[in-house]
Amino acid sequence: MKSGQGERRGVAEGKIGYSAFRLLSNSFGARRGDILLGPRFGADFGVVSLKGGIVMAVSTDPLYLNTKMALRDSAWFAFHIAVADVALSGIPPSFMVLDWNLPPDFSDSDLRTVSGVFGRESSKCGISVLTGHTGRYEGCRLPIAGAATCIAYGDAGRLILPVSSRPGDVLIAAGTPALETAFLLSYELEDLISSAAGHSFIKGIRKRMTELSVIDKVRVLSGTKGITAMHDVSERGFYGAVHEMSIASGKRFSLRSSSLHIDSAVARLSSLLGFDPLESSSEGMVLITARSSAASSVLGELERNHIPCSVCGKVERGRPLVTDDASGVKRRISYPTEDGFLSALANCRKSAKLGDSPLAL
- How confident is the model over 114-130, as pLDDT tens digits? 999 999 999 999 999 99
Strand order in the sheet with 46-49: 35-37, 46-49, 54-64, 144-155, 93-102, 128-136
Q: Tell me the fold of 32-158.
A: 60s Ribosomal Protein L30; Chain: A; (3.30.1330)
pLDDT value, residue 7: 41
Distances from the Cα of 24 to the Cα of 28, 34, 36, 41, 158, angstroms: 8, 21, 19, 11, 30
pLDDT value, residue 126: 97
**DSSP secondary structure letter of residue 237:** H
Residue-level pLDDT, tens digit, the chain, 361 residues: 233 334 435 566 788 888 999 999 889 999 999 999 999 999 999 999 999 999 999 999 999 999 999 999 999 999 999 999 999 999 999 999 999 999 999 999 999 999 999 999 999 999 999 999 999 999 999 999 999 999 999 999 999 999 999 999 999 999 999 999 999 999 999 999 999 999 999 999 999 999 999 999 999 999 899 999 999 999 999 999 999 999 999 999 999 999 999 999 999 999 999 999 999 999 999 999 999 999 999 999 999 999 999 999 999 999 999 999 987 789 999 999 999 999 999 888 777 654 454 454 3
- Please give the Cα distance from 343 to 361 (Å, whole number): 20
- Please give the Cα distance from 56 to 147 (Å, whole number): 19
In 3D, which of 114, 118, 77 has the Cα closest to residue 96?
118
pLDDT value, residue 4: 36
In 3D, which of 273, 314, 278 has the Cα closest to residue 178?
278
pLDDT value, residue 144: 97
Positions of CATH 3.90.650.10 in the chain: 170-354
67 Cβ contact list (under 8 Å, min separation 6): 74, 142, 143
pLDDT value, residue 326: 80
Distances from the Cα of 140 to the Cα of 5, 71, 116, 144, 289, angstroms: 16, 18, 22, 8, 39
Cross-strand bridge partners of residue 2: none
- Per-residue pLDDT reduced to its tens digit, 288-329: 999 999 999 999 999 999 999 999 999 999 999 999 998 778
pLDDT value, residue 354: 47
pLDDT value, residue 11: 66
Alpha-helix residue ranges (DSSP H) falling in 198-337:
199-206, 215-221, 237-249, 264-273, 295-304
In 3D, which of 125, 207, 143, 45 has the Cα closest to residue 117?
125
Asked whether the beta carbons of 62 and 147 are under 8 A apart, the reply is yes
Q: Structure pTM?
A: 0.92
Asked whether the beta carbons of 110 and 75 are under 8 A apart, the reply is no
What are φ and ψ of residue 155, in 5° steps?
Answer: -65, 130
pLDDT value, residue 28: 93
Distances from the Cα of 72 to the Cα of 75, 77, 88, 103, 112, angstroms: 5, 9, 25, 18, 10
Positions of CATH 3.30.1330.10 in the chain: 32-158
The DSSP bridge pattern shows strands 170-174 and 309-316 to be antiparallel
Single-letter code of the amino acid located at 92: P
- Please give the Cα distance from 260 to 310 (Å, whole number): 6
pLDDT value, residue 8: 39
Q: Tell me the fold of 170-354.
A: Phosphoribosyl-aminoimidazole Synthetase; Chain A, domain 2 (3.90.650)
